[in-house]
Amino acid sequence: METHLNRLILLMYCPDQKGIIASVTNFIHQHNGNITYIDQYVDRSRDAFFMRMIVEGTSITNDFKTFKNSFVSELGKSFQLKCNFYQEGKIPKMGVFTSKYDHCLYDILTQQRSGKLKCKIPFIISNHIDLEGIALQFDIPFYHIPVTKQNKKVAEEKQLEILKQYEVDFIVLARYMQIVSSKLIDLYPSKIINIHHSFLPAFPGARPYHSAFNRGVKIIGATSHYVTEELDAGPIIEQDITRVSHEHEVADLIDKGQDLERIVLLRGLKLHCDRKIMVYNNKTVVFN
């Protein structure tokens, strides 16, 4: 669970074909690398091959660029390989968007502070002032950017400016109660993580706990997912549920659900920070 600067995480994707595993493992072996982790998945219906590896070896990590280039030139072309390389010690920067609910924000900040969520949090953006005290408490810059029908575009420009200024790698919508624009989604593809307070695809959109209460379900859920153009329809990262009964009123569902939300969002964020997710065909491949 420690973070190693001299370990490399490789996420690969290519059309499925004979010999791909042998070729890749061979290549690394020849470069004096040691594979400490390998996991692969083949989507047979689409003949797609996915692999995640962790590689150790000073000859590789000391000259990371050379390794990367020769990997791409030797294997990339012949296998039509798409590959992402991450140095394990390089911790990503996460921009936080939030509104009025504090439970997800609190969990993000305390888990990050405890070292369990391995990212940097350069700022918090909120369309409400309510949570400024928490930002202060954790000594993180807080940007209050109200969003109204009238100022939507201007507000978004401000958001984008801040995101650029801090050079964030990805964004979390920690119960951010606004629909983000196509522009933002395009700039951060598979890099905006939202928590939806239902077991998607059940109860998309607003007020899912009310809908769940009205439908009389016996189980409620929460879903963390990447944001795409279509509302609440992006690739699902993680879901979990809890049992409810007729005795639980809407307020109880909200209460129980908020515990789910923070757990499910944090699991999603950790998977993303640990480079364990590949997105493909509006679904996630999670190497866990």
SS3 content of the chain, % helix, strand, coil (to 5): 35, 30, 35
Q: In terms of CB distance, is 190 or 258 closer to a copy of itself? A: 258
Give the chain's radius of gyration (CA, Å): 21
Q: Please report, as residue ranges, which positions from 90 to 149 form the binding site for a copy of itself (by CB under 8 A).
A: 102-103, 106-107, 110, 113-114, 116, 137-138
Asked if 38 touches a copy of itself (CB under 8 A), the answer is: yes
Contact 7, 55 (CB under 8 A): yes
By CB under 8 A, residue 221 contacts a copy of itself? yes
Residue with tokens 């798409």: 82
* The one segment of 85-93, 117-125, 183-191, 246-254 that binds a copy of itself by CB under 8 A: 246-254
- The answer to whether residue 40 forms part of the interface with a copy of itself (CB under 8 A) is yes
What is the three-state SS of 200-248? Answer: CCCCCCCCHHHHHHHHCCCEEEEEEEECCCCCCCCCEEEEEEEECCCCC
Strand, coil or helix: 116: coil
Member of 15, 19, 189, 205 binding a copy of itself (CB under 8 A): 19
User: Residue numbers of the site for a copy of itself (CB under 8 A)?
Assistant: 1, 18-19, 21-22, 25-26, 28-29, 34-45, 102-103, 106-107, 110, 113-114, 116, 137-138, 199-203, 215-219, 221, 235-241, 243, 245-247, 249, 251-252, 255, 258-259, 263, 266, 282-286, 288
